[in-house]
Amino acid sequence: MCTPSQVCSDPRCMVAAAGWCVLSDLIQSVLGRGGGIGPEDLADLRQRVLLVVFRRRQPHEAPENLRGLAAAVARRARRDWFFHPPRRPIPWCEVVAEVADRSFDEADVNLRADLDLLADDARAVLVAVAIKGLTRREVAARLRLTSHEVRMLYREAVTFLARLWCIPGP
C-alpha cells in the first residue's frame, strides 16, 4: 500500500526519511484506526500534507513539524466535510483555485477567463474552500449563505470547470 518512491528521491528530504508509511500512520493515529477512512481518503490526506510542505518551500521539514502538520490536516479533514462522498471535492480543484487567486502569466489567461465565467458566489466559495481551507460553516458565515448553499455552489463550480475542461467528474 505504501509507495515511498512517489514521495521524494532526495535522500535529505525528511518526507522520504519519515516515509510514506509513517505519514499514513500519523494520519491514522489522529483519526483513529478503522475510523472510516479508506485508502483513497488516506492518499488524499497524504497529498494534502505534501502540498502544504511544498507550498512552504521547505521539503526538508523536521519530523516533529511533519507530525504536527499531519495531525492538523487530519483533524481539519475530520472536522470538515471532506470524507462525505456526495460532497467530496475533486482534488485538482485545489490547485485550480490556488492558481486562480495568484498573479498570472500570459499562458494562464485562458484559465482566468474560464474562472471568470463562474457566478460570483460560486467563485467565492471555490476560493474560500480550496485556497483558504475554510470549513463549510466558516464560508457560510462569511458569505452569509446556508451550509447547503455553500455545498451546492462548490459542487456547481467544480462541475462547471470539469465540463469546461472535459475532465471526468465524480
Contact 150, 124 (CB under 8 A): no
User: Which of 79, 101, 133 marks a domain boundary?
Assistant: 79
100 and 50 together in one domain: no
Distance CA 112, CA 138 (A): 26
- pLDDT, tens digit (0-9, with 9 covering 90-100), for 61-76: 555 566 677 767 766 6
Of 106, 108, 120, 107, the residue nearest 157 (C-alpha): 120
| Domain contains 170 | no
Can you tell me which residue has the cell 455552489?
153
pTM over 0.75: no
Span between the terminal Cα atoms of the chain, in Å? 23
pLDDT in tens, 109-120: 555 666 677 777
Same domain, 37 and 102: no
Shared-domain flag, residues 74 and 104? no
